[in-house]
């Protein structure tokens, strides 16, 4: 069975190297929608694949980090990156260009790590990320699956190279959230939300 949760965030970026000049040479923004699709062949004690409240618990904190932020590519011009960091408190630096395709791959890998490091407490079994869809516009989206997120042909993604601004990290309830996700520190799901 597959379940789906939709998140929204506002974000700005430049997608260097793309064909559209407006997108490759100018900071511009999108009203993103991110769909995470989880799958399992089992139901938990509440007869659910995975409680939607639990999805909001950690996954929402990561999505919310991108809201009203500017996303930078670590290989973009150093002067540009430094200027953005100087004038914007909410920024994220990625090891890949912030296209919808790469966003879908990154979110897939992050959600996969979150699930792998979650101690299930309500009978959840074998819950996996099935797919992540990132809508950049009303008419365009990118969808990634396991093979896409882990594809060497599309370029490997090192989550360790993602940098969140100190302002974003300070907003997290758990200031060590990103470190815990990266180290896959086992975190129990809350028994009640």
Which residues are tagged catalytic?
23, 68, 136
The SS3 assignment for 31 reads strand
The SS3 assignment for 183 reads helix
How many angstroms separate the Cα of 145 from the Cα of each of 7, 18, 151? 18, 23, 10
How many angstroms separate the Cα of 99 from the Cα of each of 12, 37, 134, 145, 193? 11, 20, 10, 16, 34
Whole-angstrom Cα Rg for the chain: 17
- Tokens standing for residue 74: 């670590």
CA distance 23 to 101: 14
**How, if at all, do strands 128-135 and 28-39 pair?**
antiparallel
């Amino acid at each position: 069975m597959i379940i789906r949760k939709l998140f929204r965030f506002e974000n700005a970026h430049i997608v260097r190297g793309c064909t559209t000049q407006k997108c490759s040479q100018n900071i511009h923004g999108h009203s993103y929608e991110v769909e995470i699709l989880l799958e399992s062949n089992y139901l938990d004690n509440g007869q659910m694949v995975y409680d939607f409240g639990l999805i909001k618990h950690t996954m929402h904190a990561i999505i919310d980090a991108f809201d009203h932020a500017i996303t930078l590519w670590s290989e973009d011009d150093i002067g540009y990156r430094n200027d953005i960091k100087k004038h914007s408190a909410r920024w994220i630096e990625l090891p890949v260009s912030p296209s919808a395709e790469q966003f879908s791959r990154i979110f897939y890998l992050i959600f996969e790590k979150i699930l792998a490091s979650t101690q299930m407490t309500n009978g959840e079994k074998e819950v996996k990320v099935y797919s992540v869809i990132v809508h950049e516009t009303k008419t365009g989206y990118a969808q990634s699956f396991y093979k896409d997120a882990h594809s060497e042909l599309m370029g490997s993604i090192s989550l360790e190279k993602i940098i969140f601004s100190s302002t974003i990290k300070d907003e997290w309830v758990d200031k060590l959230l990103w470190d815990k996700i990266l180290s896959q520190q086992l975190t129990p799901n809350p028994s009640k939300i």
